[in-house]
Every structure is written in C-alpha cells, then in structure tokens.
Amino acid sequence: MTPQSAQSYAGLPEDVADGYIVIGQLGRAFGVRGEVFVNLHTDSPERFLDLGTVYLGPEATPITLLSARPHKEGVVVRLEGYEDRTAVEALRGQALQIPRSDLPDLPEGENYVFDLLGLRVVAVDGEELGEISEILFTGANEVFLVNGPRGELLIPYISDVIASEDLAAGMITVHRFPGLLD
C-alpha cells in the first residue's frame, strides 16, 4: 500500500458490480462542457490517463472516457454521452469502476487496500480483536481501525506490530505492545 496523507478508506459503495473495484467517485461538475471532478480512490492518478472505458453502477455499465487530466487532489474527466453540466450533475456520487482483472500484479508482500478491509485481527496469543473497518492514511504509515470486543482499536500497519498476514485465511496477526491494546 502507498501512504496517502490525511485520507481514509472505509470500503466500497454498495452499488459496485461483482468483480470490479472503485478507482474514484464522481463529484461536482467542472465548468459547463460536461467535465466532472473525480475524488480518487487510487494512489495513481495517472491510471486515469490510460483508461478507455470506465464502468458505473451495479450492472457495470460501460462508459467511454473521452479525456482525463490531473486537477489538485483528483482528476477531471469527460464521459461520452454527458455533454453538459446538467448531465454530469446527475452522476454525482456514483463510483467509477474498473474490472479487478485490469489491476497489475503487486510485488510479493504488497496488498491492495480493499483486500485488507474486513480481515479479522487476532493477537499472537489468540485473542480476537475484531475486523478492519477502515484504513487511515496518516502520511507516516497506514493505521487500521479495528472494531471488536474491545471497541475501536487503532493498529499501525508496520512491521513491528504485524506478526503475519494471511489473506487467504482472512486474518492478520499482531504483536502485543504496551499501550497498543490497552
């Protein structure tokens, strides 16, 4: 995972098609010619520049991406069939998706953020701590927000704390440190 300062990732909207992942969420209209601002859910804004098609809604309706350009903390895009401000305003809040199969393979030991949400977190002694409900990007490192029997816990995603990760088993094991689980 790549740190993203002062952001968090709390999961995907419910209208995401099976087998797809969200790369951004449509925001406000930008100008009067049908451009729309995209709030990014990716640490690679340049990914938008090479996309030809994006998908909307639970049916993964394909829409041709006519143009994309970086703008501040996001990207401004034009979508085929949405030629003016009024048309793109109707899309506000919708998730832009791509097929998960389009994602590049990551090096060994790296994960996509969305693969970690919902994982069980267990202490090395076997105590169930809960599930990862959100991932906070602090700039220094990611921090898991874990909801469980102890309430909300903040667990840093760093090698000193993480004992092991087993995505296939849906579990992360953490070391106990003074103050971490108190």
Q: What is the pLDDT along the chain (182 residues), one digit of tens a residue?
A: 433 333 455 555 556 778 888 888 899 999 988 999 998 877 677 777 778 899 998 889 999 999 988 888 789 999 999 999 999 999 998 888 899 898 888 888 788 878 898 999 999 999 999 999 988 888 788 899 999 999 999 999 999 999 999 999 999 999 988 887 76
pTM of the model: 0.68
The fold adopted by the segment(s) 12-101 is Elongation Factor Tu (Ef-tu); domain 3 (2.40.30)
Domain ranges of the chain: 12-101, 113-174
Question: Of 2.60.130.10, 3.40.50.300, 2.30.30.240, 2.40.50.140, which CATH number belongs to 113-174?
Answer: 2.30.30.240
Q: How many other CB atoms are there within 10 angstroms of residue 177's CB atom? A: 12
CA distances in angstroms from 2 to 82, 117, 152, listed in the order given: 33, 15, 24
